[in-house]
Amino acid sequence: MTTMIESAKLAERLNAICDAQPFVTRFMVRALGSGETIGRGADEETPSASTRKTSIMMAALKAAHEGRLDLDERITYEKRFAEEVASGMFRYLTPGIVISLRDAITGMMVLSDNVCTKMVFERLTLEEVDDYCKSIGMSGTNHRFLIPPLALSPDHSLKAVTTTTARDQVYLLQTILDAQDSREAADRLGCSQALCAYALQTLKNQILRYAIPSRLPFGALVAHKGGTGKRGRMNAGIVYRDGTPFYIIAAYTDDVPQEMPDGTPGYTVALETIGRLSRACWDELQS
């Protein structure tokens, strides 16, 4: 009964945070202690932005597990990789640098570098990644483009981008987490447990600290991947407390205005909203 009361209190607090803003916020939270979930629009299709890269990483690791890709393959950074790219640091570097496919995956995840994303995606197909998501149970995720066009308008349609659901992202993160100790979960992902351990560590290595980690105590460990879309900001991750997985949260803002009534950029408030959702979980789930 206590757990149910605490969950109801948290749900009320989370919904109040969302209701306070004029834009749409969809989320799912899973308390890892009890397994309970709280959601808002968790099954609604929403732009994924770079949160899609967690599933791209897992599809690449599956291909490596099957021997179709070599994580030690050497890739030369060519100028063409920087075309139509608006994230990461590689686009500012001198062509000719050579890195491994493993490092390209790391760059795609920890800095959301789309030069690295192109390097990874050139070794996969769009259909392969989309089919991978469907095969592991992410039925609400649709990979439609390698790299979203830079000229997308803020009111673009869902079919103009890759989309996902908050539920799908929580499921994916939960399965990666379970695979650390479960061979069955690793098999479901099509990977070895060692590769799943690499995937989780890569999520933990995330450098960008906005959204989910932004209001947590300094040094709190979060294994996560964020996203920057024309319609909003998003973030999905596993939050740890005292070294133990505490909760999983996936939050997606949508229809975010370019500017709020007080002049604050809409994206600033979107990221702050996700941070507040995460902090509410941190406060209420430990009580």
Tell me which residue range forms the domain holding 26: 1-50+125-284
* Same domain flag for 83 and 106: yes
* Same domain flag for 103 and 145: no
Q: How many domains does the chain have?
A: 2
**Within-domain flag for 65:** no
Q: What is the pLDDT of residue 34?
A: 92
Spatial CB neighbours of 45, under 8 Å, sequence gap ≥ 6:
140, 142, 158, 163, 164, 165
Q: What is the pLDDT of residue 1?
A: 40
**Within-domain flag for 279:** yes
Residue-by-residue DSSP string for 207-254: ----STTTTSPTT--EEEEEEE-SS-EEEEEEEEETTEEEEEEEEEEE
* Same domain flag for 93 and 204: no
**Within-domain flag for 57:** no
Spatial CB neighbours of 136, under 8 Å, sequence gap ≥ 6:
58, 172, 175, 188, 189, 190
**Within-domain flag for 137:** yes
Residue 163 DSSP one-character state: E
**Within-domain flag for 62:** no
* Same domain flag for 2 and 139: yes
* Same domain flag for 99 and 161: no
* Same domain flag for 139 and 258: yes
**Within-domain flag for 254:** yes
Reported as a pLDDT band with limits 50, 70 and 90, residue 279 is very high
Q: What is the pLDDT of residue 4?
A: 55
Mean pLDDT score, 121-146 = 95
pLDDT in tens, 242-261: 999 999 999 999 999 999 99
Evaluate whether 199 touches 192 at the Cβ level (below 8 Å): no
Evaluate whether 284 touches 239 at the Cβ level (below 8 Å): no
Say whether pLDDT at 287 is over 60: no
Q: What is the pLDDT of residue 3?
A: 55
244: domain CATH number is: 3.40.710.10
pLDDT in tens, 68-127: 999 999 999 999 999 988 889 999 999 999 999 999 999 999 999 999 999 999 999 999
- Write phi, then psi, for 34 (nearest 5 degrees): -100, -20
Strands (E), 102-203: 163-164
* Same domain flag for 110 and 130: no
**Within-domain flag for 180:** yes
* Same domain flag for 150 and 176: yes
Question: Looking at the whole model, is its pTM more than 0.85?
Answer: yes
* Same domain flag for 181 and 238: yes
* Same domain flag for 165 and 274: yes
* Same domain flag for 43 and 86: no
**Within-domain flag for 114:** yes
Of 122, 141, 163, the one marking the end of a domain is 122
* Same domain flag for 204 and 106: no
